[in-house]
Amino acid sequence: MMKRSQSFTSLALLLLCQVSVACAEAVSNCCNALSQEASLAGKVYFPNTSNYRGLVESIWSASAALPPWCFVQPESAEDTAVVIQTLVSNECSFGILSGGHGDFPASNSIKEGVTIDFGRMNQTTYDPVEKIASIGPGSSWQPVYETLEPYGVTVTGGRAGGVGVAGFTTGGGNSFHSTSHGWACDNAKNFQVVLANGTIVDANADEHNDLWQALKGGSGNFGLVTRFDMYVIEFPDPTKPNIWGGIAQYELSAADDLTDAYVDFVENNHLDKNSSTMLYWVYTH
């Protein structure tokens, strides 16, 4: 019964938002409530700021770059807890923006609501004793690789350096190293997660095991991940942190042969687990 009346309220809010007075009220409930939180001072951006415009433009796909009522940028798990408690208690719809490489509308930002942007939480640290890399959700992969390289290690991250850590890892994550090391999510020893009620938990093999499993592909549906603790891959020679690769382009007429070659590659991939390939069809200009 409770659930039904709550979803009715959000539906009503959505419909009423076409009417500007009701919409202004929702904006002020959600965004003003966030700005009034002392710990979030200076971290809420309205459309009249350059930070706001910069964040909309940071989204990779124009289809996904929806303009929210405001952005909020938590700086820590504690900030994130305040954000989610405020949004929940005011019944605000929200989007979750990390690397911004989701490419369909509502994959990260939101139009009638607040977009939580993790850009301030972009640090990577490495523990050489435990061999664990701790990565902030707002980082993209390139700075992660650059931070880890001097230690002679890397992680099962994205193939394009601009892709975000959080969307990639919680969505699965197919890496150059996936034949030998599995999906990116398989390499997460621990997720630090902020739950809907603001509680901060660790999800791993021993604690909140169900959440740990659900987040391996669960994307933003189970909580806000505020830190990824990942197993690393050691380079055989730490002074040579190299991978070899390249791109070849063919005419469309080669499609059948390429498909056969790709199937052959995949069937034999176990013979050389260090190798990886991807085949895709594109229009070029």
Ligand X SMILES: *[C@@H]1O[C@H](CO)[C@@H](O)[C@H](O)[C@H]1NC(C)=O
Ligand Y SMILES: Cc1cc2nc3c(=O)[nH]c(=O)nc-3n(C[C@H](O)[C@H](O)[C@H](O)COP(=O)(O)OP(=O)(O)OC[C@H]3O[C@@H](n4cnc5c(N)ncnc54)[C@H](O)[C@@H]3O)c2cc1C
Q: Is 163 in the site for ligand Y (CB under 6 A)?
A: yes
Indicate whether 149 belongs to the interface with ligand X (CB under 6 A): no
Are the beta carbons of 74 and 120 closer than 8 angstroms? yes
Judged by beta carbon, residue 20 or residue 277, the one nearer ligand Y is 277
Contacts to ligand Y from residues 111-150, by CB under 6 A: 118, 137
Residue 163 binds what, of ligand Y, ligand X, none (CB under 5 to 8 Å, by partner type)? ligand Y
Residue 239 carries which side chain, given as an amino acid letter? T
Which residue carries 């090391």 as its tokens?
181
With contacts defined by CB under 6 A, name the span among 47-55, 160-168, 238-246, 249-257 that binds ligand Y. Answer: 160-168
Beta carbon of residue 253, minimum distance to ligand X (angstroms, whole number): 33
The answer to whether 173 contacts ligand Y (rule: CB under 6 A) is yes
Shortest approach of ligand Y to residue 177 CB, angstroms? Answer: 11
Instruction: List the single partner that 274 binds among ligand X, ligand Y, none, CB under 5 to 8 Å by kind.
Output: ligand X
- Residue placing its CB nearer to ligand Y in the complex, 82 or 166: 166
Contact set for ligand X, span 192-221 (CB under 6 A): 195, 197, 199
User: Would you list the DSSP string of the chain?
Assistant: -HHHHHHHHHHHHHHHTTSHHHHHHHHIIIIIHHHTSGGGTT-EE-TTSHHHHHHHHHSS-TTT----SEEE---SHHHHHHHHHHHHHTT--EEEESS----STTSS--SSSEEEE-TT---EEEETTTTEEEE-TT-BHHHHHHHHGGGTEE-S--SSTTSBHHHHHHT----TTHHHH--GGGGEEEEEEE-TTS-EEEEESSSSHHHHHHTTT-GGGS-EEEEEEEE-EE-SSTT------------GGGHHHHHHHHHHHHHTGGG-TT-----------
* Nearest distance in Å: CB 277, ligand Y: 12
Dist. CA 75–CA 72, nearest whole Å? 10
Closer to ligand X at the Cβ: 122 or 187?
A: 122
Comparison of 99 and 113: residue with beta carbon closer to ligand Y: 99
Site for ligand Y in 38-67 (CB under 6 A): 60
73 part of the interface to ligand Y, by CB under 6 A:
no
Binding ligand Y by CB under 6 A: which of 35, 73, 93, 107?
Answer: 107
**Between 131 and 189, whose beta carbon lies closer to ligand Y?**
189
Single residue of 5, 18, 48, 239 touching ligand X by CB under 6 A: 48
Binding residues for ligand Y (CB under 6 A): 60, 96-103, 107-108, 118, 137, 158-160, 163-164, 166-168, 170-171, 173-174, 219-220, 224-225
